[in-house]
Amino acid sequence: MTDTTCRHCGRPGQIELQLTIKEGPAMTMLSCGGCEHRTWLVDGEEVSKARALAVVAGRDDFALVHKPRGS
């Protein structure tokens, strides 16, 4: 289960987006509706935005999946 509390402003219930890549790592982006702080996770590990973007760089086989809250 992902912690959806924003570490930046403490607001709960960040929007969770999952990036699905064929034969790639599981990626998640948490976006805060309060301060727009974004957290990137690769295989459950928090990484920098630059690192996360490097994972998807040059790939056209990924899809964004919006995960409804509470799932």
In the complex, which residues of this chain contact Zn ion (CB under 5 A)? 6, 8-9, 11, 32, 34-35, 37
Residue placing its CB nearer to Zn ion in the complex, 27 or 39: 39
Amino acid at 7: R
Sheet holding 15-21, edge to edge: 45-47, 38-42, 27-31, 15-21, 62-67
Tokens coding 22: 């064929």
Residue placing its CB nearer to Zn ion in the complex, 32 or 42: 32
Residue placing its CB nearer to Zn ion in the complex, 26 or 35: 35
Least Å from the CB of residue 34 to Zn ion: 4
